[in-house]
Structure 1
Amino acid sequence: MKLEKKRILTGDRPTGKLHLGHFVGSLQNRVLLQDEYETFILIADIQALTTHFQNPKLINDSIYQVTMDNLAVGLDPDKVTFVQQSQIPSIAELTIFYSMFVSVNSLRHNPTIKTEAKQYGYDDLTYGFLGYPVSQTADITFCNADLVPVGDDQLPHMEQARKITRRFNELYGNGETIIKVPETLLSKNSRLAGLDGNSKMGKSLGNAIYLSDDSKTIDKKVKAALTDKNRIALTDKGNPNICMVSQYHKVFNEEEYENTCEMCRSANIGCVACKKLLAKKLNNTLEPIRERRNYYENNLNLVKEIIIEGTKKANLIGNKQVEAIKEAMKIIL
């Protein structure tokens, strides 16, 4: 008898095109796991409103951009289910149910909420922003996901999700597990710094290399990357430990990384040549991704169909899950 695959839920907020930080932190892993797990990719347009509620057009346009980026890196629409969050009523229902037994204090003390509030300059948090972990729990549990791949910044949200699911089962399970307690899969490379030296590559920081960037754009961005400021002349010995170009070589040019570092330390390679080598490696990595993305850019109706069909499948699953939850809560006729 064929065993059922375990289910993964992961996804992105559609607030712009995806970049190398997403590629290293999550997208590569999704491609590797798509054969082993039943995979759901959530296009989290409702959660994008928590920080971009004044720019709904960006969110709408980015639904396509984010989906194309996922398809371009190698996710197979015949194996992976793409889901538009706002079109899944069961997620909204579960968010309301869970919010009834989650304290405001637990949300306020969530370190990720604190960090992101500071990042966006929020002094007075909206209900939606504060309740982000509750909404995320609904995302995970509408399809009863077994596993959620995350970066380390999302670990507090996952712990909150695990608390919510355990609490629900205690309150309404009557000794049975109504909702699975999701496991966390921590990404090996959870964060890629910006080429400008910022600890995080981000859309809002203007330091991102996008998966859709053409070769000339990548050459230009890498050329401006931060290197060892103390290395002025070509004959000066460099310190790769404080050079962002070196850090990118470690990720995208692993086989030559040690040798490149040694050449830097001994002044046998200059920063310009080192940057050209990195740009070439990045372009080699991204070229097949750009080709696949170009195909989908020229077939937007196909992208739309992939989202629509995936969302239909997800709604069937979500409706069944909510029915079981309502029955457990004794709020069904």
Structure 2
Amino acid sequence: MTDDSLSTPTDEVGDALATSTSEASLARTEQRSHEIEAQIAADPSKFRVMTGDRPTGSLHVGHYFGSLMNRVRLQNAGVDTFVLIADYQVITDRDGTGPIAERVRGLVTDYLAVGIDPGKSTIYTHSAVPALNQLMLPFLSLVSDSELYRNPTVKAEHEATGGRPMSGLLLTYPVHQAADILFCKANLVPVGKDQLPHLEQTRVIARRFDERYGRANPDAPVFPQAEALLSSGSLILGLDGAKMSKSRGNTIELRMTADETAKLLKRAVTDSDRHITFDPVNRPEVSNLLTLAGLATGRDPRAIAEEIGDGGGGGLKRYLTEVLNEMLAPIRARRAELAADPGYLADVLAAGNAKANAVADATLREVRDAMGMAY
């Protein structure tokens, strides 16, 4: 690839990002996800998963049903799983880190409480893995500013800030995410449909790096082309009917008590129709609570609606409170035990950071070798 290579691939990545969520592309990705699940069942050793969270608040039931359960499933199936606590990404759109140490410890506690096993999964933080972040330098040379400005992830994150000036870290957010995935050579990333453009940016960066620096051995690329494992979970709204969000205070946090959960659910939004039905289009708030009840029990939300019948919103909330607290009880008990042993939590994170550093250092050495920069 020539020195002016960034003048033409702009169209390449633009087209890739634009089509990554087209109807045909989504159908292909969904089909590939089914194939990957079959391959995991046959031989999980072929895969390494990378996933994680920003420590901006406590994890809630949306996280549990949307991603945490799937992480536990994958690790227990034998997939090598890397779980990132993205502490550096907290400041992409914020003026400070807040009570970040407390939140990082909280994430570790939540992870272990829901069943993430430090003997099977690697839990680590951005700030403790220098080589991961150093990969941003060569990766930034592989993208243009126009590509970054057009990236849907950047646009969405910037809009969420209310139009404040975009920081350089926010602009390069997709490149940092690419480093998150590529440092450990993950070839599988669990994502929702809205996150496919971010994964496509990672694939473009991996491909460009190997085109520019990896031609000495084209059959052994430095980086894999990470694939998406699409989430099959239902979209869960907050208790107010809006998007579930830590900042809106409309969530049931994993760390909450049964009484706190009951009080919040009493205030959950329903509607004036006393007869309970599952109708996500016309009754989104009621259907959302039914979805939560279905996830907590493994039952069809329609069957739950028929059972509650004319019990109204009050009956639905009482049912949801009972089944959700019952489901969360062992997680909360385990969480309390873990929170009482901060030394163990620190040891888990230290061990995960050590493993992540070993992997990142090896990848960085390989990158420097490919670039002719191993002196």
Q: Which residue of 2 aligns with 1:26?
A: 67
Give the % identical residues.
Answer: 38
Q: Which residue of 2 aligns with 1:237?
A: 275
Q: Give the superposition deviation at 1:61.
A: 1.6
CA distance in 2 between counterparts of 1:104 and 1:64 reads 36
CA distance in 1 between counterparts of 2:177 and 2:234 reads 19
CA distance in 1 between counterparts of 2:346 and 2:193 reads 32
The answer to whether the Cα contact below 8 Å between 1:151 and 1:190 also exists between their aligned partners in 2 is no
Which residue, 298, 304, 324 being the options, matches 1:282?
Answer: 324
The answer to whether the Cα contact below 8 Å between 1:145 and 1:182 also exists between their aligned partners in 2 is yes
Q: Residue 93 of structure 2 aligns to a residue in which SS?
A: helix
Matches within 5 A, 1:182-261: 182-189=226-233, 191-198=235-242, 200-228=243-271, 230-231=272-273, 236-241=274-279, 242=283, 243=286, 244-255=288-299, 257-261=301-305
Between stretches 185-194 and 254-263, larger displacement belongs to 254-263
Between stretches 284-293 and 43-52, larger displacement belongs to 43-52
Q: Which residue of 2 aligns with 1:332?
A: 374
Which AA in structure 1 matches 2:159? K
Q: Give the superposition deviation at 1:278.
A: 0.4
The verdict on how the C-alpha distance between 1:3 and 1:123 changes in structure 2, with shifts beyond 3 A counting, is: closer
Q: Which residue of 2 aligns with 1:49?
A: 91
CA distance in 2 between counterparts of 1:37 and 1:277 reads 36
Q: Residue 319 of structure 2 aligns to a residue in which SS?
A: helix
Q: Give the superposition deviation at 1:239.
A: 4.5
1:139-192: CA deviation from partner (whole Å, max 9, x where unpaired): 111111111112223211111101110111111111240111111111111632
The answer to whether the Cα contact below 8 Å between 1:10 and 1:42 also exists between their aligned partners in 2 is yes
Q: Residue 314 of structure 2 aligns to a residue in which SS?
A: helix
1:111-143: CA deviation from partner (whole Å, max 9, x where unpaired): 222122112213421000111110011011111
Q: Give the superposition deviation at 1:273.
A: 1.6
Q: TM-score, normalised by structure 1?
A: 0.92
Q: Which residue of 2 aligns with 1:86?
A: 127
Unaligned runs of 5+ in 2: 1-42
CA distance in 2 between counterparts of 1:190 and 1:98 reads 34
Q: Which residue of 1 aligns with 2:195?
A: 154
Which AA in structure 2 matches 1:274? L
Q: Which residue of 2 aligns with 1:133?
A: 174
Between stretches 252-261 and 23-32, larger displacement belongs to 252-261
Q: Give the superposition deviation at 1:254.
A: 4.0
The answer to whether the Cα contact below 8 Å between 1:133 and 1:161 also exists between their aligned partners in 2 is yes
1:232-259: CA deviation from partner (whole Å, max 9, x where unpaired): xxxx434542113223223324426323
The two structures, once aligned, show a CA RMSD in angstroms of 1.8
The answer to whether the Cα contact below 8 Å between 1:8 and 1:38 also exists between their aligned partners in 2 is yes
Which residue, 329, 340, 343 being the options, matches 1:298?
Answer: 340
